[in-house]
A and B are shown apart, each in its own frame.
Chain A
Amino acid sequence: MIDIRNIFKEYHGFFALKDVSLTVEAGEFVALVGASGSGKSTLLNIIGQIDVPAKGEVVIDGVVTSAMNDNQKAGLRNKLFGFIFQSFYLESKYSVLKNVEIPLIIRGLRATERKTLAVNALETVGLKDKAKNLAGTLSGGEMQRAAIARAIAGNPQIILADEPCGNLDTVNGGVILNLLKALNDAGKTVIMVTHNSEHAMAATRLIRLKDGELVSDEKHP
């Protein structure tokens, strides 16, 4: 369970988040929506321990993350979270397989175990046959699928996706949403940032932000 308590985030006098509080239960598929600059990506980064709030705290499974040091937060990012971004952040000169292996290398897993987990993840996203290709040779949709494979290879409990379909056409965007839904069905907690209300409908809960404030929190089947 993720408990966000009275979060504030300030950038040079401008408040990107103002007193945001919410709770995300395990297994939920949450969509954070809002216009550009509403603070949704900032909130996602704070949840994922990529950024720190100016005030307030994030409690994950009863642990207050602000009490953690950098190394502990790094460990949390590696094991608990899987990250997906609009720009994929794949290393174009690495093979697809190696890209997927990076968080597993960081975790210190042995080569054979890494390879098994990475290949399984690529199989899940339908990219097993492209494992040896350089990431730079993939199409946009394939790159995002590879990024999802990297996010799920280490079997994290929470998937954080920031505009995962932002750079994709409708068809590929649909494929990625279906993958996220499948991951959620498999028990993963998914928190997705999107400004696309159609994409947001894939989630079971819709949280709307405006000017850094939480303005609505709706559940739908």
Chain B
Amino acid sequence: MKNILDLFLTEIKSVYKQCIVFILIASLVFTLSISLFCLSFDVIKGYKAYLDEMFADGLSFELNVKSFDDFLRAGGAADYLKIDVWNFTDDVNFSFNGVIVSDEDSEEYSIFFGDAYVFRSALPNACRGARLVSGRWWTDGDNLKQNGFYNIFISSQTAEALGINAGERLQMSFPYTNAAVAELTVAGIYEGEDVGDFVCPAYFIYGIFESVAATDYTDGVYVYYYGEVAEASDIFDAVSALRRGGFKPELFLLEEIDLVNAARYILITISVISFLITSFILNNIVTITVNARQRFIAQLKLLGAKSSLVAALYYSFLLFSFLASFALGSALSVLLKNYYSGIVNTTLDFTVTLNMYPAVLLALFLTGVVILAVRFVLFGRKINKIQPIDCVRSE
């Protein structure tokens, strides 16, 4: 290690001029890369702060889908069943390995089937069983089986209480009527208690909903859902989640959100391109140096240097150049942050405070290190090809 340092200190004296020029150019591009990368985060942050300030009570939005079934299917609940039996402790028990859990939180029950029909109503006190769609009643496990229901989604609290995992089968029993026990496979486990302990995934899959209510539906033609976010800034995630699920939320801020998001991606893209250019410049430092020093490398090998020593010598140039450019680029970015903020704030309605996130810088640094590691392998090959005899042949 020490001999690499000794050689490095010796060799840098003969190549420092070209290194300095490259490092300065790389630093300037690096400055752009770092600044834009940080800015891309700060623009979003500034806009979210602006939203929270403007809409202190949160934001509401609507979803317009063709049918309730469409909503559930888009939510990934193609084979769904919702069974909420609330406030009927003796009606339905769920058990697994001798552990029994009952639900007793609500006075409402719902059953959702996978055929686009929905039955939803307040359960009369006199009702002792659950009701099937199409006006049929079901009272036991056999009935469920006949209607092709084998799966159920349960809350994490219930799963924990039962000690059951996804893929395992639980028993649903009806102790009040002593009806047949149903065997259901736990298709998934979800977080949250708002929607009950045993449901299909449609309501909870987007955790952003504080409340979801069907405002209207007529024979499965149109269904409007109303959602809201308590913190206005959460609308970013809500919109993203809904779009991933195939929904088109209706929201007056949508265009603005898209614009800010686009700005972020453009900034990140330019930043990444700048970073690649920086890497290219830095790599060229060593490529040019190695090419220019082929005879010297051959001479080092002739005098007894192993390939690994020579590779480490020139790799240390790359590392040094990277560190120098990174340090200089970071310093320049911090110096220029007010300038950048000024430019951004004159074109936007909200205020952007440009910070230099340590995490962002660290990410950039680590990416650089990965690039350097790849180059290390490539340099090793290039230097391996240079043989001691090349020193004599070049004469």
Contacts and interface: CB of A to CB of B under 8 A. Distances in A.
Interface of A: 41, 45, 49-51, 70-71, 74-79, 83, 85-87, 89, 91, 93-94, 98, 102-103, 105-108, 110-111, 150, 162
Given A91-B14, A93-B13, A83 B7 contact: no
Given A86-B395, A102-B10, A108-B2, 9 more contacts: A41-B392, A50-B302, A78-B305, A83-B303, A89-B302, A93-B13, A94-B14, A105-B10, A106-B304
Interface residues of B, number: 24
Nearest to B4: A105
B299 A74 contact: no
B14 A74 contact: no
B304 A50 contact: no
A165 to B, nearest CB: 16
Nearest to A82: B303
Q: Which 9 A-B pairs have the closest CB atoms?
A: A78-B304, A93-B14, A77-B304, A103-B303, A50-B388, A106-B305, A105-B6, A108-B3, A74-B304
Main secondary structure on chain A at its contact with chain B?
helix
A85 B306 CA distance: 21
B300 interface: yes
B169 interface: no
A50 B14 contact: no
A138 B82 CA distance: 93
Interface of B: 2-3, 6-7, 10, 13-14, 295-296, 299-307, 309, 388-389, 391-392, 395
Given A89-B391, A111-B6, A77 B303 contact: yes
A10 B10 CA distance: 38
A41 B395 CA distance: 13
Nearest to A114: B6
Contacts of B388: 49-50, 77
7 contacts: A50-B392, A79-B304, A83-B303, A91-B296, A102-B303, A106-B300, A107-B304
Contacts of B13: 93-94
Nearest to A78: B304
B14 A85 contact: no
B3 A105 contact: yes
B3 A51 contact: no
A89 B299 contact: yes
Contacts of A106: 3, 7, 300, 303-305, 309
